[in-house]
Structure 1
Amino acid sequence: MTMIMKVEKLPKLFEEAAPILKALQDNGFEAYFVGGSVRDLLINRPINDIDIATSAYPEEIKQTFKKTVDTGIEHGTVTVIENKQTYEVTTFRTESEYQDFRRPDKVTFVKSLTEDLKRRDFTINALAMDANGEIIDLFGGLEDLDKQVIKAVGNPSERFHEDALRMMRAVRFQSQLDFGIEQHTKEAIIEHHELLSKIAVERVRDEFLKLGLGQGFKKGFASFIDFKLVEQVPVLNVYEAELRRLLGINFLPANEVAFWSMIAVCCQLSLAKIRKFLVQWKNSNKVKEEVLAIVELFDIMMVKEPTNRQLYHYGLTTLLQTIDLMRMFGEEVNATLLVDCYDQLLIKSRDELAIDGKILIEDLGLRPGPAIGQILYEVEEAILNHELENDLKAIKNYIELGDFHE
């Protein structure tokens, strides 16, 4: 049954995009805001971007607007540039069979909003809104939003066979929205969880990370384990018991690096295994190195307070993230003392050192080579231990007295 309600006052983001819908309508086409932006508007969540669906075919979209880019035209998506803003406008479409559980064999453009919405994953994402703020709900999405439940559109088994990633999206939305999952949808995920193995790890990673940073993390993560999705992902499939520990933590990870660090510590992975794990999950080298630094410092702090050299080496950002990680796992840590110790360091990086290799060679007559690095290291050490001021004259005297000349 079709349900219609009206949003009386549209946020600025929608007001600015309304002329796109009206231009399409003026040319005889239907056009609506669709998907997550409509959902988030109704539950007062932040909206980052909006999607527009229309009965116009891609070429008709391009004829309607002066500036367009063919961003995904084979799937019916054209980017419209209007008032220095970009809007993705997609033709109503339906999809054929999915032979690989992730891509449709064929996309067919249609003129029906109903056909377009019925192919979407969950009822709360199958909502449309026109330029006047009228919400069109064909599949009970408004009721499910009110009940705070994630429910597949139509037959959940069919939706998950079309795209098995939708099973991960279900638990991701559960975490982000702190909603429950409808019984038949849950049963279908458990029944078809093995299909997740067909999905590229990059796509799974994106959903898993969003799950990990959601406000309802414990709820979504419990479902990720209980629905057997954990069995179909790299490395973590053998750490189910360890991962359940995360359901008892008191702090949530603040960012991507914190999330992967939490997983690594929870599973008690060695540094070598962490490196391999992060590569298998298609993380960037930057993320990999930051996670390794946090876990290294975590291991140090579990045994003793870090030295000045270690505080200098890891830096403040890593120190603060490690403190957060220790608190997540209920470990005692004197954060104020550690941050004070860091603040009292006379230098925070080698760039702040009052001397460099060039000065050692030109002013002190030292020959280029490995000895230069060793001298700079010992100077750093003396400054970090408050045995030497970070002053060029004092450092030169220190080197002269220390008989560093070759």
Structure 2
Amino acid sequence: MPEGAYPVTMSMIVPIKGEFEKAIPVLETLQAAGFEAYFVGGSVRDALLGKSVNDVDIATSAFPEEIKKLFNKTVDVGIEHGTVMVLLEGESYEVTTFRTESTYQDYRRPDSVTFVRSLEEDLKRRDLTINAFAMDNEGRIQDFFDGEKDLKQQIIRAVGKPEERFNEDALRMMRAVRFASQLGFHLEADTFYAIVVNAHLLENIAVERIQVEFVKMAMGDYLLQGMEALFTTNLYQYCPGLKHGKLALRRFSLIPAKLKKERHVWALLLYFLGIQNPKEGQAILRHWRLSNKIISDSVQLLELILYRHHLPLNHYIVYRYTPTLIWEAEELLEVIKLPSDKQTAAKLINTIPILERDEIDIDGKAIMNVVNARGGRWLGEAIAMAEKAVVLGAVENDQQAILNWLQKYKYI
């Protein structure tokens, strides 16, 4: 990553604007009552990097019940962990009490949390130095772990002892490589080594949580950097279906364009894994605990990519897979440096006679009236042939024209 790619604000006051400005009344209310209150975490990191901030998290020395007394509308979203949602002026803000955490028995959750009044003690439990910032209502930065220095040097470093952080929550290892992909930073040596040693702990983490980090990594601006970290730390071996997929992942890592949709990630992952059978692709994606919609769309994109290796598009393929997936498949062909034909795709999409079965001007009742016969398998086959003929332009989408066509070719 080029030096100076991010305009890091070093030891300066960050301008209070946008989402920070909206949330200032929350901080001021807490401070007026004698409590400390700060913006924390990723929003502060992004502000220091000059990136847009979409939401903010607030940490305070006030305990949950004390927070609730100060605001008219609150929701207990995680009060056992110190988090209260404050509803103010049409916005919602998660406000969390400073806390420390006990030992972790399952590499996922602390056995207990203890509320404290110390900001530094709270920030000690954060995963990475670049996520352990706090910022007050005037934009002044609190940085106990040299996070700003690591931002400037483009380093991903665990807070404190890396092995302790990863034994507390093994998902933090995936977060580290995800940030390598999103920011283009590299893993600090001790942090890297601790991930290599503890990569197996990822087996204790719910697949759904791993999946979220994998997708974010795969859609990062610096995919090659993130994937290289995934390989060299051996974390990939503990991701569903990837234990023997290092070569496929290396090919995936060379994708030259930033992926925009989650289904693109899974479709190309299946493609580089060499999956030819849709059912096999579905089985792999089910292991990742994906939604049925994502699985269906991803596998259909894979089918289209494989189809387009050998055959051109036609109206029936557009009809079967929907215009949206057709267009995205052509884009993915470009991404993986295979011949695509967006011009033909656009023409077919714009001229297709129907897009859904219920648009066809024929039904089973009309056909049975003509042949004076009861329904059966033959009827479904006749409607299917009529549907295909209309889509391909072999017959006009008109009831009488379709009936004549079915009789002419002896489908009824």
TM-score bracket, normalised by the shorter chain, equals over 0.9
Mapped to 1, the partners of 2:85 and 2:17 lie a distance apart of 21
SS of the equivalent of 1:237 reads coil
What is the letter of the counterpart of residue 42 of structure 1? Answer: L
Residue number among 274, 278, 290 corresponding to 2:297 in the alignment: 290
What is the letter of the counterpart of residue 113 of structure 1? Answer: L
SS of the equivalent of 1:331 reads coil
Deviation at 1:204, TM superposition (A): 0.7
CA contact (8 A) 2:314 2:348 kept: no
TM-score calculated relative to the size of structure 1: 0.93
What is the letter of the counterpart of residue 309 of structure 2? Answer: M
Q: 5 Å matches for 1:52-201? A: 52-201=58-207
1:54-81 Cα deviation digits (max 9, x unpaired): 0011111111111111100110001111
| Shift in CA distance, 358/176, structure 1 to aligned 2, threshold 3 Å | farther
Mapped to 2, the partners of 1:110 and 1:368 lie a distance apart of 74
Deviation at 1:277, TM superposition (A): 0.8
Mapped to 1, the partners of 2:311 and 2:361 lie a distance apart of 31
| Shift in CA distance, 364/176, structure 1 to aligned 2, threshold 3 Å | farther
What is the letter of the counterpart of residue 33 of structure 1? Answer: F
1:34-71 Cα deviation digits (max 9, x unpaired): 00011111212232211000001111111111111110
SS of the equivalent of 1:6 reads coil
**Range with bigger deviation, 85-94 or 35-44:** 35-44
1:325-383 Cα deviation digits (max 9, x unpaired): 32232212222223323433222222332333455467886644444432222222222
TM-score calculated relative to the size of structure 2: 0.92
Structure 2 unaligned regions, length at least 5:
1-9
Mapped to 2, the partners of 1:362 and 1:56 lie a distance apart of 77
SS of the equivalent of 2:100 reads strand
Is 1:49 aligned to residue 59 of structure 2? Answer: no
Give identity over the alignment, percent. Answer: 43
Mapped to 2, the partners of 1:146 and 1:127 lie a distance apart of 14
How many pairs are equivalent?
402
| Shift in CA distance, 359/11, structure 1 to aligned 2, threshold 3 Å | farther
Mapped to 2, the partners of 1:90 and 1:255 lie a distance apart of 32
2:384 maps to what in 1?
Answer: 377
**Range with bigger deviation, 193-202 or 345-354:** 345-354
1:320 maps to what in 2?
Answer: 327
| Shift in CA distance, 358/5, structure 1 to aligned 2, threshold 3 Å | farther
What is the letter of the counterpart of residue 299 of structure 2? Answer: L
Mapped to 1, the partners of 2:200 and 2:410 lie a distance apart of 68
What is the letter of the counterpart of residue 113 of structure 2? Answer: V
What is the letter of the counterpart of residue 232 of structure 1? Answer: Y
CA contact (8 A) 2:57 2:94 kept: yes
SS of the equivalent of 2:59 reads strand
Mapped to 2, the partners of 1:97 and 1:362 lie a distance apart of 75
Deviation at 1:83, TM superposition (A): 1.1
CA contact (8 A) 2:313 2:344 kept: no
Residue number among 353, 359, 370 corresponding to 2:360 in the alignment: 353
1:211 maps to what in 2?
Answer: 217
Runs of 4+ displaced beyond 3 Å: 356-372, 396-405
| Shift in CA distance, 376/59, structure 1 to aligned 2, threshold 3 Å | same
| Shift in CA distance, 11/370, structure 1 to aligned 2, threshold 3 Å | farther
| Shift in CA distance, 387/317, structure 1 to aligned 2, threshold 3 Å | same
Deviation at 1:136, TM superposition (A): 1.2
1:14 maps to what in 2?
Answer: 20
1:299 maps to what in 2?
Answer: 306
What is the letter of the counterpart of residue 398 of structure 1? Answer: W
Mapped to 2, the partners of 1:182 and 1:31 lie a distance apart of 31
Mapped to 2, the partners of 1:152 and 1:188 lie a distance apart of 10
